[in-house]
Amino acid sequence: MSTYAQKKGFGGTIWDYLTTVDHKKIAILYLMAGGLFFLVGGMEAVFIRIQLAVPNNDFVSAGTFNEIITMHGTTMIFLAAMPLLFAFMNAVMPLQIGARDVAFPFLNALGFWLFFFGGVFLNLSWFLGGAPDAGWTSYASLAVHSKGHGVDFYVLGLQISGLGTLIGGINFLATVITMRAPGMTYMRMPLFTWTTFVASAMILFAFPPLTVGLTLMMFDRLFGANFFEVAMGGNTIIWEHLFWVFGHPEVYILILPAFGIFSEIFSTFSRKRLFGYSSMVFATVLIGFLGFMVWAHHMFTTGLGPVANAIFAVATMAIGIPTGIKIFNWLFTMWGGSVKFTTPMYYAFGFIPSFVCGGVTGVMVATAAADYQYHDTYFVVAHFHYVIVGGVVLALLAGTHYWWPKMFGTMLNETLGKITFWLFFIGFHLTFFIQHFLGVWGMPRRVFTYLPGQGFDTSNMVSSIGAGFMSAGVIVLLLNVVITQVKNVKVGNDPWEDGRTLEWAISSPPPYYNFKQLPLVRGLDAYWIEKMEGKKAMTPAEPVGDIHMPNSSFIPFMITLGLFIAAFGALYHADDKSWALPVLIIGLLVTFGSMLVRSVKDDHGYHIHKEELMDEEKGAEA
Amino acid sequence: MQAEEKFTYETWPASPERATLEAKNKFLGFWLFLGGETVLFASLFATYLALKDKVPDSTHALAKDIFDLPLTLVATMLLLTSSLTSVYAMYHMKNFAFKKMMVWLGVTVLLGFGFLGSEIYEFNHYVHEYHHTFTSSAFSSAFYTLVGFHGAHVTFGLAWIISLMIRNSKRGLNLYNAPKFYVASLYWHFIDVVWVFIFTVVYLMGMVG
Amino acid sequence: MKRLAKWRLVSLFAILALALSGCSGKPYLSALRPAGEVADIQFDLMKLSTYIMVGVIVVVMVIFVIVFFRFRRKKGDNGIPKQVEGNHLLEILWTVIPILLLLILAVPTVAATFKLADVKEMDKKNSDALVINVRSHLYWWDFEYPGQKIVTSQDLVVPTNEKVYFNLKSMDVKHSFWIPAVGGKLDTNTDNINKFWLVFDQKRANEAGNLFYGKCAELCGPSHALMDFKVKAMNRDDFDTWVKDMQAVKEPEKATSDLASQGQEIFNKSCIGCHAVTPQNKMPDTARVAPNLTNFGERSRIAGILDHNKEELKNWIKNPETYKPGNEMSGKYPEMTDQQLDALAEYLMGLKVQD
């Protein structure tokens, strides 16, 4: 199997990525696809801010505006933030626990393709009669009422991509449980691995309710069911519950890995172990648990009654406590440390005040009686952008700079990185800070325009200018990526020089089998321990031996393609198109047929033989 | 232990479903998947309970009008028995008794078909007798979705077990296919457990009104 | 990074300055200018939580700034800092203090939540409380006074200094009923009736020009942004007079001028199928498919958003789609000539109950 290392043509590279089951390559796929959708969602955001820059604007029509906000939210949450986090989980987590791959390489590829095709399907709605326009929450009465196929694209696209996320979550869970290197106990796992683990568990329990909600809506819209038809006995509040039973944990699914990324960065660039590691782990697990207990705080104004509102208000406030623990632990990780301000550290440092603002407004909206004022206004828009952008997006940008060398073997330019940070950071606060005030001054969210004379004009203009800064930051980042890849200066194992965890113990990028010999882990920050004892590499836990590897496979792509085709059949079925049902059936046949092939065709993988590994070593030395 | 190795009764490990790393992963991963499935069905149950007997007007049949205990009892017995027979099959799998395993799996499949048949008859009965169709009310939509989701799981489980049986009919047991048989039977048990809840929540509680 | 720290501090003071100065929005619209008991309770909670939260931010920022100045790595510094595992005392401290702070916030929150949901009075038999049934429609609001047996729309009329109770329901998709300055907000669901109460304070209503802005706060379609309504707050005597005047309209008022009579004819041909011009609407809420126009001439806006004059009214009738995309009125009546529009507008602007 040494063909693997041979140089390939362009077509060969494409085929390689279409069939790959290597977690590092899948990580790159997630990064590219997630990055692409991030740009799409970002452009939608810019359109929103242009439309709202001045009162009574007609840059886009009212209907189009609703499509843009729906797609902005949906894209950013499902197709940008989640996959970009999955990119880092895939790239780094197996390395951090000293594994050669994830538990289910085949499912890993399947998860990616499901997400990707789901996202493509959803975005095709722009060209096929209009995008969904009922908001990313797609509340049932409006969604069922919505004309055209937009909401159908939403329910089908999200079902497909949600399935991919679920599979990814199961895969990461199993990986952490079974694939840890010798000595890597749970309480020695790096915090990014821990947060990946908890977030994956949350995915496992949070995504099924969404799937059910989407299925019910699909049945209502496409197959004549009556779940949300009040006249037929239906009930739209069911959707709100199902959506938020998923939707709230989803926020923590996003923010926990972001916390993980920052924990790594704080510790690395302070040259100190993470302060209060055990309490950090405890706080992570507690947040994961409480995350499921608070969904109804999104429904304070739905009329659930004072008992439910009071309980959910107090439960929500309780989440502030473990989050506060984390903030202080990060500060005290830096306290007494030797803090080096690299680009990732800029983001981490900027994250603290930004996220604290988002966190405290979170407690403010948790006070149910006051939330009757905040709910569905720009205050809430400001709050969740402080959490999602100030937390998750800053983490994604930090992680991009931090792990870029590990993923691609090159280092992003530090000066450009810092310029990106300043543009983005200033733009972010300029855009969203003022929106807190807009909300309490009486501006509801999701409005396509506003009338003059209500005191909203100046603040909206300020907010729109901020969006310009953020866009400029992203453009600089893209330039940075291009310049770095063109220059292509390769770096060593530990380019930041302060690496603590196992991913920095092997080359950048790592060989396709990761660790020639599984490392022996002797404590938290395994690589740091070895470095402090003057060693250059990890102590191996096993002699050099054959390595079992999974085969590449085109089947994940085919399974997904089938669902993609079937989704079109289901969508046009509602129009009584004669070809719709056959397309639906053909698509499902492709999917189930591919699964059958996977089931009956034996796939034992292959072995890299000991001798090959030895040869490679010699080759590297020569 | 290698997945491709040949085994005899003596060398066959005690827990063949967890003997290799791949098998261990599969075993664990499948349990996790069932965790997700549990939440899925929990959501469907919650929806059903919220919409039970929610119909547009009094011409529509309610739960207490349509359910028929003898028929449901037969279906329940068929599925419960099939769960038991799949336990036998796994017992023989662990004892490297391939033929016996196949026989019991065959019985399981037959019972599964019996269940599916009774369910199809039941749905047909509701549609023609009570005009209780998928689109007639919120109650009917919720009923057919919950019970139908379970029915779809049964169908998928049958297709899965049958394809495993056909694929491996000639080559006996090894550590590559033993975990496959095992997780398929886990899936079958899960379907059975869900049915117990459906029987209780939908049928028994439906009949008392 | 120095700039960053300074910037943060400056912004912190800016927040405080902003909150303390007059920058708190319009008196008829802003939740920061409360004009009634409910909004007061909510504003007090906002202030309490803001104080606590600003306190937290200050503590974090102090540590943040110290870290920034004291612990940055000097060039060529290769020292390895002491690897600290943690500190039990500190960790307990920053667990317990937040718990206490949240308790301080949680108690009034729970109390207020129950207080604002207390609608026992409206369900009592023979209660004197004023009850208003709010029915939300795609981009307009229907207000029924069941005790007074009158219906109006778009301009809600309420007495001041007493509790006004609301029954909220939507007739199509979900909306949300919000009068920011007086108290927020409750959804109008399609499934059930939601109930709550508000108080309109006379003194502060005067400051706000006796006209509060109301909003729809739940995305409901293209014209969600334009689903505004207005609230006329007046003292109880004026309110009673208004009710009497409304009740006095037993059948459609006859137009007085020639032009208006012409308009009335057009109205009776093309509009009356949806729009009623008598307030004692015997029809159930589901049959009230368009705004009641009994006192249209006394309203403050046309369609909730346009200035209240004849020109705008003609524009609106001519092409409602340009002003409220996706509304339910467009295309339901024949196109009219300018003369017809003029007559119709003349008639509608003359629909007044209080002279």
Q: What is the 3-state secondary structure (H, E, C) of B60-119?
A: CCCHHHHCCHHHHHHHHHHHHHHHHHHHHHHHHHHCCCHHHHHHHHHHHHHHHHHHHHHH
Q: How far apart, in whole angstroms, are the C-alpha atoms of residue A496 and residue C102? A: 40
3-class DSSP assignment, residue A589 = helix
To the nearest whole angstrom, how far is the Cα of C22 from the nearest Cα of chain A?
Answer: 12
List, in order, residues 6 or more apart from C72 with CB less than 8 Å away: A339, A340, A341
- The partner residue sitting opposite A276, judged by closest CB among C42, C71, C91, is C91
Please report which confidence band the pLDDT of residue C96 belongs to, taking 50, 70 and 90 as the band edges. very high
Predicted pLDDT of residue C3: 56
| Parallel, antiparallel or unpaired: strands C229-234 and C301-302 | unpaired
Please report which confidence band the pLDDT of residue A1 belongs to, taking 50, 70 and 90 as the band edges. very low
Predicted pLDDT of residue A622: 44
- The partner residue sitting opposite A314, judged by closest CB among C39, C106, C216, is C106
Q: How far apart, in whole angstroms, are the C-alpha atoms of residue C159 and residue C166? A: 13
> In the predicted model, what is the mean pLDDT of residues A492-521?
93
Write down how long chain B is.
209
- Flag whether A590 is in a domain: no
- Flag whether B183 is in a domain: yes
The amino acid at residue A165 is: T
A238 contacts chain C (CB < 8 A): no
A279 contacts chain C (CB < 8 A): yes
- The partner residue sitting opposite B25, judged by closest CB among A178, A208, A219, is A178
Predicted pLDDT of residue A5: 46
The amino acid at residue A135 is: G
Write down how long chain A is.
622
Burial of A619 (0-12, 13-18, 19+ CB in 10 A): exposed
Predicted pLDDT of residue B18: 86
3-class DSSP assignment, residue A354 = helix
The answer to whether the CB atoms of C81 and A271 lie below 8 A apart is yes
Cα three-residue angle A510-A515-A518, rounded to 5 degrees? 155
Torsion of CA A364, A366, A369, A373, to 10 degrees: 60
Predicted pLDDT of residue A425: 97
User: For A175-232, how does the pLDDT look when each residue is reduced to its tens digit (9 = 90+)?
Assistant: 999 999 999 999 999 999 999 999 999 999 999 999 999 999 999 999 999 999 999 9
Q: CB of C113 within 8 A of CB of C148?
A: no
The structural domain count of chain A equals: 1
Evaluate if residue A11 carries a pLDDT over 90. no
Contacts of A600 in chain B (CB under 8 A): 163, 167
User: For B119-167, how does the pLDDT look when each residue is reduced to its tens digit (9 = 90+)?
Assistant: 999 999 999 989 999 999 999 999 999 999 999 999 999 999 999 999 9
CATH number of domain containing A433: 1.20.210.10
> In the predicted model, what is the mean pLDDT of residues C341-351?
93
Q: How far apart, in whole angstroms, are the C-alpha atoms of residue B149 and residue A215? A: 11
Q: How far apart, in whole angstroms, are the C-alpha atoms of residue A403 and residue A527? A: 16
The answer to whether the CB atoms of A174 and B32 lie below 8 A apart is yes
Evaluate if residue A6 carries a pLDDT over 60. no
- Flag whether A202 is in a domain: yes
The answer to whether the CB atoms of B32 and A173 lie below 8 A apart is yes
Please report which confidence band the pLDDT of residue A619 belongs to, taking 50, 70 and 90 as the band edges. low
Predicted pLDDT of residue C5: 60
Kind and range of the H or E run holding C234: strand C229-234
- Flag whether B23 is in a domain: no
- Flag whether B112 is in a domain: yes
- Flag whether B33 is in a domain: no
Contacts of A236 in chain C (CB under 8 A): 174, 189-191
- Flag whether A9 is in a domain: yes
Q: How far apart, in whole angstroms, are the C-alpha atoms of residue A276 and residue A266? A: 13
> In the predicted model, what is the mean pLDDT of residues C209-223?
94
- Residue identified by tokens 């972010």 is A428
User: For A354-390, how does the pLDDT look when each residue is reduced to its tens digit (9 = 90+)?
Assistant: 999 999 999 999 999 999 999 999 999 999 999 999 9
CATH number of domain containing B183: 1.20.120.80
- Flag whether C126 is in a domain: no
C297 contacts chain A (CB < 8 A): no
> CB C65: neighbour CB atoms within 10 A?
15
Q: How far apart are the first and last CA of chain C?
A: 68
C223 contacts chain A (CB < 8 A): yes
The amino acid at residue A550 is: P
- Flag whether C325 is in a domain: yes
- Flag whether A611 is in a domain: no
Q: Which residues pair with C141 in a beta bridge?
A: C136
Token reading at C277: 């011009």
Predicted pLDDT of residue A62: 94
Q: Which of B27, B31, B32 to mutate to test the interface with A (most CBs of A within 10 A)?
A: B32
DSSP secondary structure code for residue A393 in this structure: I
Please report which confidence band the pLDDT of residue A612 belongs to, taking 50, 70 and 90 as the band edges. confident
Please report which confidence band the pLDDT of residue C12 belongs to, taking 50, 70 and 90 as the band edges. low
Evaluate if residue A143 carries a pLDDT over 90. yes
Contacts of B137 in chain A (CB under 8 A): 226, 232-233
Write out the DSSP string of A153-197: HHHHHHHHHHHHHHHHHHHHHHHHHH-PPTT--GGGS-HHHHHHH
The amino acid at residue C156 is: L
Evaluate if residue C9 carries a pLDDT over 70. no
> In the predicted model, what is the mean pLDDT of residues C237-245?
94
Q: CB of B59 within 8 A of CB of B65?
A: no
The chains in contact with chain A, meaning 3 or more Cβ pairs closer than 8 Å, are: B, C
| Parallel, antiparallel or unpaired: strands C229-234 and C211-216 | antiparallel
List, in order, residues 6 or more apart from B89 with CB less than 8 Å away: B100, B101, B102, B104, B105, B108, B181, B185
- Flag whether B181 is in a domain: yes
Question: Between B59 and A427, whose confidence is greater?
Answer: A427
- Residue ranges making up the domain that contains C330: 258-349
Please report which confidence band the pLDDT of residue B1 belongs to, taking 50, 70 and 90 as the band edges. low
Q: How far apart, in whole angstroms, are the C-alpha atoms of residue C119 and residue C129? A: 10
- Residue ranges making up the domain that contains B178: 80-209
CATH number of domain containing C275: 2.60.40.420
- Flag whether A36 is in a domain: yes
Residues 47-106 of C with CB under 8 A from A: 49-50, 52-53, 56-57, 60-61, 63-64, 66-68, 71-73, 77, 79-87, 90-91, 94-95, 98-99, 102, 105-106
B141 contacts chain A (CB < 8 A): yes
Distances (CA, A) of A496 to A154, A260, A269, A463, A503: 42, 18, 8, 36, 12
User: For A544-603, how does the pLDDT look when each residue is reduced to its tens digit (9 = 90+)?
Assistant: 999 999 999 999 999 999 999 999 999 998 888 889 999 999 999 999 999 999 988 888
The HSE-up count of residue A463 (CA atoms within 13 Å, CB side) is 27
DSSP secondary structure code for residue A377 in this structure: B
Evaluate if residue A2 carries a pLDDT over 50. no
- The partner residue sitting opposite C173, judged by closest CB among A142, A301, A328, is A142
- Flag whether C62 is in a domain: yes
Token reading at C68: 């920034």
Please report which confidence band the pLDDT of residue C280 belongs to, taking 50, 70 and 90 as the band edges. confident
The structural domain count of chain C equals: 2
Q: How far apart, in whole angstroms, are the C-alpha atoms of residue A142 and residue C224? A: 11
Preceding omega of A509 cis (within 30 degrees of 0)? yes
Q: How far apart, in whole angstroms, are the C-alpha atoms of residue C260 and residue C343? A: 6
- Flag whether B94 is in a domain: yes
List, in order, residues 6 or more apart from B27 with CB less than 8 Å away: B17, B18, B179, B182, B183
Token reading at A97: 């626990």
Least confident among A525-539, A603-617, B54-68: A603-617
Kind and range of the H or E run holding C153: strand C150-153
To the nearest whole angstrom, how far is the Cα of A142 from the nearest Cα of chain C?
Answer: 5
Evaluate if residue C1 carries a pLDDT over 80. no
C266 contacts chain A (CB < 8 A): no
A290 contacts chain B (CB < 8 A): no
Q: Does the structure's ipTM exceed the value 0.90? A: yes
Residues 353-392 of A with CB under 8 A from C: 353, 356-357, 360-361, 363-364, 366-370, 372-377
Evaluate if residue C311 carries a pLDDT over 90. yes
Q: CB of A442 within 8 A of CB of C26?
A: yes
A134 contacts chain C (CB < 8 A): yes
List, in order, residues 6 or more apart from A205 with CB less than 8 Å away: A249, A292, B35, B36, B39
DSSP secondary structure code for residue C160 in this structure: S
| Parallel, antiparallel or unpaired: strands C155-159 and C229-234 | parallel
Q: How far apart, in whole angstroms, are the C-alpha atoms of residue A346 and residue C333? A: 62
Over its C-alpha atoms, chain C yields an Rg (Å, rounded) of 27
Evaluate if residue B90 carries a pLDDT over 80. yes
Predicted pLDDT of residue C354: 82
Q: How far apart, in whole angstroms, are the C-alpha atoms of residue A592 and residue A584? A: 12
The answer to whether the CB atoms of C42 and A339 lie below 8 A apart is no
- Flag whether A610 is in a domain: no
The answer to whether the CB atoms of A353 and C8 lie below 8 A apart is yes
Please report which confidence band the pLDDT of residue C2 belongs to, taking 50, 70 and 90 as the band edges. low
The structural domain count of chain B equals: 1
B56 contacts chain A (CB < 8 A): yes
Least confident among A185-189, A272-276, A332-336, C78-82: C78-82
List, in order, residues 6 or more apart from A245 with CB less than 8 Å away: A206, A209, A292, A295, B43
Token reading at B169: 């009919």
Token reading at A601: 């065709």
- Flag whether C63 is in a domain: yes
- Flag whether B41 is in a domain: no
> In the predicted model, what is the mean pLDDT of residues C283-312?
91
List, in order, residues 6 or more apart from B32 with CB less than 8 Å away: A170, A173, A174, A204
User: For A387-402, how does the pLDDT look when each residue is reduced to its tens digit (9 = 90+)?
Assistant: 999 999 999 999 999 9
The answer to whether the CB atoms of A444 and C216 lie below 8 A apart is yes
Please report which confidence band the pLDDT of residue C4 belongs to, taking 50, 70 and 90 as the band edges. low
Provide the percentage of residues in chain A whose pLDDT is more than 90.
Answer: 91
